[in-house]
């Protein structure tokens, strides 16, 4: 389906990958919605008309009316939101964009900023406070009168387990294993199944999803499923040595926002406004969610898997965690 697409947050970590993947299909004019226009913005050639155009549009996320006018002006058919949904302002911006897209007669489809797991899971499985920013967007989409929408679940981004030896736009996060330091902090008993995908594959399959005539409510990118204990074993096998492994109990520690931190945590905490305290709480939340099964797609119902749907149309299968760990850590 050839169309004009706008990616909100298209200059961000995942957003820029989605923009690149959409352009590579050759089926879409792709615009980026941004509060600021970078000085190094290059013109693009439209695959639909052959004309040159400037791909970054300055968006005022404080005004639904302004956003609706912008979407009409550029005749946007599909909106993809790839904003980092971890603070109130971003949530409000996405809500206004949803309502603006519903008001704009040209917009037919909307993919909200999900790209994780089912945010409607109860706190017993997904004890993640920031999920409220996603659930409020879901309720807003359900209330729209004209938009077709879908939620994309890639699970955990496997990029985190290959840094710094793989190509990625994500910022480092001291998550579970720090191979260079020879340490691991495993949530729960380590037997939880975690599904994960490489961000480049997530972007590719998000772009391909636009070819589906009618979207199911949930689309997954089921690249790899692995237990946390097996994840540790694979790292050890590639390194050729054992890791020092600590296990964090869910009830007594993780749900209390307490967890042991990996050696690089202090360095990475500088990227968080709340410093090491905020990072510790985030690691505890993510650990609890993994241990409690939020990232296990084994029994997921009423969904379709993009990897399976587009198996015949992709040049290569998606990255698997086994391959990524080998590329990143074999013999190091």
DSSP codes of every residue in 239-258: HTS--EEEEE-TTTTGGGT-
Q: What is the pLDDT of residues 51-106, one digit of tens each?
A: 999 999 999 999 999 999 999 999 999 999 999 988 899 999 999 999 999 999 99
Global confidence as pTM:
0.95
> How many domains is the chain partitioned into structurally?
2
User: Which domain covers residue 127, as residue numbers?
Assistant: 3-149
Are residues 42 and 90 both part of a single domain?
yes
Q: Are 104 and 76 in contact (CB under 8 A)?
A: yes
Check whether residue 235 and residue 177 sit in a common domain.
Answer: yes
Q: Are residues 145 and 162 in the same domain?
A: no
Helix (H) or strand (E) holding 225: strand 224-227
Q: What is the pLDDT of residue 167?
A: 95
Same domain, 140 and 15: yes
Predicted local distance difference test score (pLDDT) of residue 42: 83
| CATH assignment of the domain containing 59 | 3.40.50.720
pLDDT for 299 equals: 85
Are 164 and 281 members of one domain? yes
Q: Is residue 271 domain-shared with residue 138, that is, in the same domain?
A: no
At residue 7, does pLDDT exceed 80? yes
End-to-end CA distance of the chain: 45
Q: Has residue 76 been placed in a domain?
A: yes
pLDDT tens digits for 139-178? 999 999 989 999 999 999 999 999 999 999 999 999 999 9
**177 and 284 fall within a common domain:** yes
- 275: CATH: 3.90.25
> DSSP H helical segments within the chain, as ranges?
13-25, 64-73, 88-103, 132-142, 199-209, 228-239, 265-268, 275-291, 306-309, 321-329
DSSP 118: -
Average of per-residue pLDDT across 257-264: 95
Question: How high is the pLDDT of residue 87?
Answer: 86
Distances (CA, A) of 98 to 3, 81, 109, 188: 18, 9, 10, 38
With vertex at residue 284, the alpha carbon angle to CA 282 and CA 286, rounded to the nearest 5 degrees, is 70
What is the average pLDDT value for the chain, to the nearest integer? Answer: 95
Let me know: does 180 contact 261? Beta carbons within 8 Å. Answer: no
Would you say residue 198 lies in a domain?
Answer: no
Q: Is the pLDDT of residue 237 over 80?
A: yes
pLDDT of residue 1: 67
Report the C-alpha gap between 179 and 92 in whole angstroms: 38
């Amino acid at each position: 389906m050839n169309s004009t697409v706008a990616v909100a947050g298209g200059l961000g970590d995942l957003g820029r990958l989605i923009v690149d993947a959409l352009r590579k299909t050759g089926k879409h004019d792709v615009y980026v919605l941004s509060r600021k226009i970078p000085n190094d913005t290059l013109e693009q050639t439209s695959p639909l008309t052959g004309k040159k155009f400037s791909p970054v549009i300055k968006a005022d996320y404080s005004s639904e009316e302004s956003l609706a006018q912008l979407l009409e002006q550029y005749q946007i058919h599909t909106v993809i939101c790839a904003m980092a949904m971890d603070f109130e302002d971003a949530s409000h911006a996405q809500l206004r964009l949803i309502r603006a897209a519903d008001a704009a007669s040209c917009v037919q489809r909307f993919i909200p900023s999900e790209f994780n797991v089912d945010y409607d899971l109860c706190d017993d499985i997904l004890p993640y406070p920031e999920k409220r920013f996603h659930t409020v967007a879901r309720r807003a989409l359900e209330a729209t009168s004209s938009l077709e929408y879908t939620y994309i679940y890639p699970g955990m981004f496997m990029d985190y387990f290959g840094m710094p030896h793989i190509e990625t736009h994500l910022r480092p996060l001291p998550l579970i294993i720090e191979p260079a330091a020879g340490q691991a902090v495993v949530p729960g008993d380590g037997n939880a199944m975690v599904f994960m995908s490489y961000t480049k594959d997530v972007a590719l399959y998000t772009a391909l999803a636009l070819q589906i005539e009618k979207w199911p409510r949930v689309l997954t990118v089921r690249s790899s499923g692995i237990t946390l204990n097996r994840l540790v074993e694979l790292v050890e096998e590639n390194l050729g040595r054992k890791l020092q492994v600590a296990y964090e109990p869910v009830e007594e520690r993780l749900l209390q926002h307490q967890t042991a931190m990996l050696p690089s945590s202090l360095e990475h905490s500088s990227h968080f406004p709340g410093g090491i305290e905020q990072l510790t709480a985030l690691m505890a939340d993510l650990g609890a969610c993994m241990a409690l099964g939020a990232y296990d797609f084994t029994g997921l119902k009423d969904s379709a898997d993009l990897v399976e749907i587009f198996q015949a149309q992709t040049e290569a299968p998606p990255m698997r965690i086994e391959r990524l760990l080998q590329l990143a850590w074999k013999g190091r």
